[in-house]
Amino acid sequence: MTHQQIQLPVTESPVALQQTAVTQTDLFEYVLGDPLLASSLYVNIALAGVSLLLFVFMTKDLEDPRARLIAVSVLLVPTVSVASYTGLASGLTIGILEMPAGHAAEGASVMIGGEPVDGVVSLWGRYLTWALSTPAILLALGLLAGSDATSIITAITFDIAMCITGLAAALTTSSHALRWFWYFISCACFAVVVYVLLVKWPEDAAAAGTASIFNTLKLLTVVLWIAYPVVWALGVEGIAVLPVGVTSWAYSLLDVVAKYVFAFLLLRYVTTNERVVSGDVLDVPSASGALADD
Ligand code: RET
């Protein structure tokens, strides 16, 4: 077998070659080299793991189908978290993005492997995994409030739309204005979720006898969730006044309360009040029932 030598085109700008050559390993090492950023990710992997074990222990004896579904959706939250933070820590769901003209981080560069690389480090994997964890939080809240399938599905679909359009806002590099347009669409979807949480579900929870715990969790959720778009806007994706490590810690701290403290309070209630939340999984009025009334 003859070995032919392949001639690579000679480029005048070796930097241009480096731009495309940032590997996952480079990003993995970049994270490890920044103690603030690394701790914001690794601490959360550990916390999510411990929470998961605690929550499994707390819920293992539940028997009622609705209480069990609440438990399963709550258990999904730290499970997704372990995956989410592992994706970020490993460099799999992190990228270097060159911000468009007009963005505060336009022309910025980062040191990767001792070399400057054009762009900023974006932890875009967060927005992707929120599309799984936040619906699980909403499903648990909707079930706790004893809400109907229509309002639960409405809240969840707009919430997923919020996360995916938030991801689009973070990943758009062609136009500064379009980044903010995506952000605006995401906020509009968020408004629907907030409406359901503040207006629709409290009425259902009052009827179901879960108003007191629901209102505590509702407040916790609405206040903390509002902080996420604020961090986005201040962080490197938005007006870039917060550096990557600080942005990441802000999200990580919000996550600790919005996920683990929230989940603990909810599960403590469900395990001690199983009979109050008991019922069918989703009370969808049947079509035949509606016809029979005619
Ligand atoms: C983004 C940016 C675009 C505008 C809006 C956002 C809202 C994010 C929220 C995230 C909540 C995440 C939670 C995660 C738990 O795992 C995407 C930041 C409105 C509300 C609670």
Query: 22-279 has which CATH code?
Result: 1.20.1070.10
Residue among 228, 236, 253 to mutate when testing ligand 1 (max atoms within 8 A of CB): 228
Render 7-44 in DSSP notation, one character per residue. PPPP-S-HHHHHHHT--HHHHHHHHHH-HHHHHHHHHH
Confidence at residue 264, expressed as pLDDT on a 0 to 100 scale: 96
Q: Is the CB of 202 under 6 A from ligand 1?
A: no
Verify whether ligand 1 is closer than 6 Å to residue 249 (CB atom): no
Does the Cβ of 169 fall within 6 Å of ligand 1?
yes
Residue 294's pLDDT is 44
> How do residues 26-70 score in pLDDT, each as one tens digit?
999 999 999 999 999 999 999 999 999 999 999 999 999 999 999
> Per-residue pLDDT tens for 252-294?
999 999 999 999 999 999 999 998 988 766 665 444 444 444 4
Q: Is residue 139 within 8 Å of 80, Cβ to Cβ? A: no
Instruction: Note the pLDDT of residue 114.
Output: 87
Query: Ligand 1: which of 190, 196, 252 to mutate, judged by most atoms within 8 Å of the beta carbon?
Result: 190
Cα separation of 121 and 188, whole Å? 27
pLDDT for res 278: 83
Locate 275 and state its tokens.
Answer: 């009979």
Identify which of 189, 191, 168 has the alpha carbon closest to the alpha carbon of residue 180: 168
Ligand 1 pocket residue status of 158, Cβ below 6 Å: no
Model pLDDT for residues 195-238, shown as the tens digit of each residue: 999 999 999 999 999 999 999 999 999 999 999 999 999 999 99
What's residue 21's pLDDT?
Answer: 77
- Judged by average pLDDT, the poorest of 10-14, 28-32, 115-119, 152-156 is 10-14
Q: Which runs of consecutive H residues, i.e. helices, occur in 145-257?
A: 149-171, 176-195, 201-208, 211-234, 244-255
Dihedral of alpha carbons 169, 166, 225, 56, sign: negative
Cβ–ligand 1 distance for 262 under 6 Å, the answer: no
- Does the pLDDT value for residue 247 go beyond 50? yes
Which residues are CB-neighbours of 56 under 8 A, at least 6 positions away?
75
Cα-to-centroid distance, 229 and ligand 1 (Å): 6
Q: What is the pLDDT of residue 293?
A: 46
Q: How far apart are alpha carbons 248 and 234 in whole angstroms?
A: 12
Cα of 38 vs centre of ligand 1, distance in Å, is 21
Please tell me the pTM assigned to this model.
0.89
Q: Is 134's C-beta closer than 6 angstroms to any atom of ligand 1? A: yes
Atom 6 (ligand 1) nearest CA: 229
pLDDT in tens, 136-191: 999 999 999 999 999 999 999 999 999 999 999 999 999 999 999 999 999 999 99
Q: What angle do CA 260, 200, 259 make, to 5 degrees?
A: 5
Which atom of ligand 1 is found nearest the CA of 167? 17
